[in-house]
Every structure is written in structure tokens, then in C-alpha cells.
Amino acid sequence: MTTISPPENGFMRKVPQGSKEDDIFYMYGSTAAHIKEETEYVRTIRATLEKIQSQLFKDDLYNKSSQEKDSHTKQNGYSNEDAESFSSRYKRIVEKLKDQDLQILDVHRDNEDLQIKLEATREAGASAIRDATRKLYENYNKKSEQARKCHEEEKQILQVMYTTI
């Protein structure tokens, strides 16, 4: 009887019972059946990736002659029309992406122009506020000086009146 210990590093480990297969599994973490299963899985993935690659990147490197096309088509289950359809869709998508990149560049340029205009407007606004503040300060100083002079004159008049009384 074989017992299984808790997983270590993602592998279920058999507790060695003395058989040669159990010893191999314990030492290397895989049995022959497990390796065959993994190999078959890798082959399936490769076949799927070849299908996808042929769909997306139909060019002369993958299709040198019509015989290779026919054998390849029979292997992956897609017709030449399907491959052309995938190729045309791919080209349309690439064109659409190029158009979007151009639109993004245009928007970026417009954004830079607007940023410059905004900065100029801010500077003009700040300059206008500085000018208005300077004028208000000058007016305040003039009126303050006038009020001080009037106050001095009134003070002198009162002192003259007070001294004469």
C-alpha cells in the first residue's frame, strides 16, 4: 500500500514503501505516467500555439508552397480562407491601432498647445492682478497722505484756536 504525504513544493509525495518506482517518485517527484501526461500536455499546447500563430502571422515563412499550405491546413483544421480572414482581420486591427496612435499624437500636440495657452493666460492674469494691486496701493497711499495732510491742517487750526483762547 502506498500512502501520500502532504504536498511539498506543489508535488504530492509518496511515502517510500520499498518498491523501485516509489523510490524514483520520492527522489525525483515524478513517475513515468506523470511524465508521459506532462509530455502530452506540452504537445497539445504546442499544437494550439501553432494554430494561433498560423492564424495571426500568415506570411511566406510559414507558407512556402501550396503543398505545405495544404498539409498545414489539414493538420490544424483551418482552411486557407480562414487563414486569409484572420490575416485580414489582423491587418485591419494593426491599421486601427496606427490610426489611434496618430489620433493620440494629435491630441497630445493639442494638449501641449492648450498647456502653453493656459500658462500664458495664467501669467497674463497674474500680471493684471499685480497691476491692479499696485494701482490700488498707490491710490490708498495718495488718499492716506491726503487724509494725513487734512488731519495735520485741522490739528494746526485747533491748536491755533486753542492757543488764542
Res 69: pLDDT: 53
pTM of the model: 0.36
Residues ≥6 apart with Cβ < 8 Å to 32: 21
Lowest mean pLDDT among 50-64, 99-113, 141-155: 50-64
Coil, strand, or helix at residue 45?
A: helix
Tens of pLDDT, residues 65-97: 555 555 555 555 556 666 678 888 888 899 999
* Domain definitions of the chain by residue range: 80-165
Q: What are phi and psi of 153, to 5 degrees?
A: -65, -45
